[in-house]
A and B are shown apart, each in its own frame.
Chain A
Amino acid sequence: MLIALLSIVVGATILSGLVTIYIDVPRQMGAQFRSYGANMLLLPEEGASLTADSLQEALGKIPEQNMVGATPYRYVRLDMPSRQQSFISAGTDFSQVQKTSPYFSVEGAYPKDTREILVGKEIARTLDVKVGSSVELSYKTTGKAGDKASGGDKAGTVLQGSAEGFNKVIVKTDVVLDEEGKIASLEVDASSQTPGIGSLVGTDKAFLDQFIGKSLPLKLSGSQAEDGAAKDAAQEEDSTEAAAQEEGAAKDAAQEEGSTVDAVTGATISSQAVIDAINSASSSSDDVVPIENTEHFTVAGILSTGGEEEGYVYMSLKDLQRLTMDETLDAAELSVSADAEELEAYSKEISDADLGITARLVKRVTRSEASVLGKLQALVFLVTAVVLLLTMICVSTTMLAVVSERRREIGLRKALGASDGSIRKEFLGEGMFLGGLGGVFGALLGFGFAQLVSVSVFGSAITFRPLLLPVTILVSMAIAAVSCQMPIRRAVAIDPAIVLKGE
């Protein structure tokens, strides 16, 4: 009886242990062979940069029919202003990702449209975002003030400038340029100008309207510069110097259409100050200023890979390039169907091609290795089946021994009026009890066994699957019940008359 119990415990242990491993192995393997899919990595050479063009050229070295997938990557740290956190964001091509990283498992869908992102599971957890959530991401950098800003809400660049006007009073201007670099709007702060006519440059609508649509740099219209400056100089002291400076340049400028403005009558120096301020702002556009581009994205999918990818945000390369105003790439993962020798040849060709690209080979699980995984699972299945079969044989034999040992007792029970049904029930009940008990021990031991195997073979712990406990117990009971069938038939066949014969 103890032997039967023991064999059921062993059987159930193997069953639950191997099933746990069976379920866990693909996950483990996926985590083990991270680069399953991609087998070549293209990186920019020291000092060179990887661009769409150079990548295209490199890909040309590999025959098209051998190319399974080529995925460009650009990694940038993006901020999430609302959470005051930042994440590594990867810009990539999602149609290619699925070919070079088949182990990516996406809940929801891969992004299809612009401003859709794929969020790593870890980030999704910390930020508590779900598929369909909206996320605000911003890119912070420094750049020239004149750089075109992206993003809907900022159509153009604001240029701030100032210049000295009449009586050394500062004139400040705020100019917004449109996408073609033409003035879209203008504000002038000349409130501290000479009370009276000089301050008009800030409020005279006719004067200010002239600037709209003009491109930089600006000049005061020629005749006025000459006439007006002289005339003003008579009225306004200290102005001769400024007027004299203008004289030569103004003549050339007058020829350039669309970049001349007429001064406010009687306030030539103040008008000139406005122009100087705008021009100074324009010329200061080479100065380095902070830039922040912010866009809203919709979460299309949550990514789980069991690896560091779960801490990344993925978006289309286009989105990332628009956000960062930068078109360079950091790497490209390639999946090439070729044998080791050919791969070596391709990588050498690309590295030697003077494209500023080095190609590196990456070990991956090849298709045959993947099928090893399938075979391993089949083997696990087979071993489980064999062990269960052995368990059944063992239980059956033990129960047979028990029946023949208890022959007299069974005969006696029958002589005392036990029906076949009650004998059957008794033994079946006993068998099921053994099965259940063995199943409980087996399920627990099996988890320990699986844990041990997982830790020693794969180096990672496995999660306990509560469902496996009742399943193991039920299977053990079923196996015990099946194993008991033959012994029960024997028991039922015992002739009660044996007890009278005094055997």
Chain B
Amino acid sequence: MALLELKNVSKIYGDLKALNDVSIQVEKGEWVAIMGPSGSGKSTMMNIIGCMDKPTIGEVLLDGVDISKESQKALTDIRRDKIGLIFQQFHMVTYLTAVENVMVSQYYHSMPDEEEALEALDRVGLRERAKHLPGQLSGGEQQRVCVARALINHPELILADEPTGNLDEANENIVLDLFRQLHREGTTLIVVTHDPEVAEAAQRTIVLEHGRVAREVINENFSNQ
């Protein structure tokens, strides 16, 4: 059974169909890239998959549960337990240090554990900067903290909305390497991107246009050792 399945999903704002009858499947452990021009509905889809929004029409099955029918509270629980989020603008709580930002995620999930949070920072190569505030970190470093925060609770599914949009090539590669690691560990990845290089790192690319799935491309050169 697929980890995630969208069945004829539409999201309608007034007379605008941000998503228009979208049906996709993502298998457990799969790494999928989503591309498309601006306004094509990528973020709208991520919000729905990430349990932060509900479709106007259609079903969204996550681990066999139709999240389009769940209550707000249940959605929060699912998001907390199963999903790790990474954003384009590396959102961090500005008055908390790097390690504390990671611990925020732990706090809502279970119990803050500084040791574990430091290990997660170690994975993204930022153990030394654990006590720095976001303002004292570069954009790339901030995004790596966000990756650490997303993986701290061992989510089944990581959703990343343009994670490398604001990064230079070196930092982009660091983030992609982290994704490769996560993929090797069996984490399912859905990455929205404008960058073909980032999309090529994935196993499969779904292209959206005007709220519809325009095409799907399997990356035949995919390898992740």
Contacts and interface: CB of A to CB of B under 8 A. Distances in A.
B73 A415 contact: no
Contacts of A499: 85, 87, 89, 91
B23 interface: no
A416 B105 contact: yes
Nearest to A496: B52
Interface stretch (B43-51, B118-126, B194-202): B43-51
> What's the interface size class on A, roughly?
10 to 19
Contacts, number: 60
Contacts of B93: 409, 412-413
A414 interface: yes
Nearest to A412: B91
Contacts of A408: 91
B116 interface: no
Given A415-B50, A416-B108, A502 B76 contact: no
Nearest to A503: B89
B21 interface: no
A500 interface: yes
Contacts of B85: 415-416, 499-500
Contact of B76 (A417, A497, A501): A417
A255 B72 CA distance: 128
B22 interface: no
Given A500-B43, A500-B46, A500-B47, A415 B79 contact: yes
A416, A495, A497, A499 interface centre (most CB from chain B within 10 Å):
A416
Contacts of B89: 499, 502
B108 A413 contact: yes
Nearest to A411: B91
Interface in B21-64: 43, 46-47, 50, 52-53
Contacts of A500: 43, 46-47, 50, 52, 85, 87, 161
A372 interface: no
Contacts of A496: 52
Interface stretch (A81-89, A292-300, A418-426): A418-426
A120 B198 CA distance: 94
A415 B104 contact: no
A408 B87 CA distance: 12
Contacts of B81: 417
A420 B73 contact: yes
A415 B87 CA distance: 11
B144 interface: no
Contact of A495 (B52, B79, B88): B52
A417 B105 contact: yes
Contacts of B94: 409
Contacts of A409: 93-94
B88 A418 contact: no
Nearest to A410: B93
A90 to B, nearest CB: 72
B204 interface: no
B124 to A, nearest CB: 17
Nearest to B192: A500
Contacts of B53: 497
Contacts of A420: 72-73, 76
B149 interface: yes
Contacts of A416: 80, 85, 104-105, 108, 149
Nearest to B78: A417
Interface string A457-501: 000000000000000000000000000000000000001110111
A315 to B, nearest CB: 75
Nearest to B95: A409
Contacts of A502: 87-89
Contacts of B76: 414, 417-420
Given A409-B94, A412-B92, A419-B77, 11 more contacts: A412-B91, A412-B93, A413-B104, A413-B108, A415-B50, A415-B91, A417-B77, A417-B80, A417-B105, A499-B87, A500-B46
Interface of B: 43, 46-47, 50, 52-53, 72-73, 76-77, 79-81, 85, 87-89, 91-94, 104-105, 108-109, 149, 161
